[in-house]
Amino acid sequence: KMIRLTATVHGYVQGVSFRYYTQLTANKLGVVGYARNQPDRTVFVVAEGEEEQVQALARWLEKGSPAARVSRVEKDFSTATGEFRHFQIRL
């Protein structure tokens, strides 16, 4: 079953390679979508793929990159749209 994760990651998550590690993890899991820094210092993530892999990425977001300090993750799951071909870092 293909699903979509929309997540906002709060905490010390900018300037710590969070988007880069998110992309590495997504690629390893075979998940597509993007990660983007937000003006409020959060990181916004949209990811699509097989349910098990997307859930694994959602769990990874709770910890994040080695230097990150994640305080909370707002997550919403829905049906995948199929609009992405790879995972990218958006500016």
**Which residues belong to the active site?**
19, 37
- CA dist 35 and 23 (Å) reads 7
Location of structure tokens 């293909």: 2
Query: Are 62 and 12 contacting, i.e. CB atoms less than 8 angstroms apart?
Result: no
- CA dist 53 and 47 (Å) reads 10
Residue 74: both structure tokens together = 């707002």
Residue 61: both structure tokens together = 């977001």
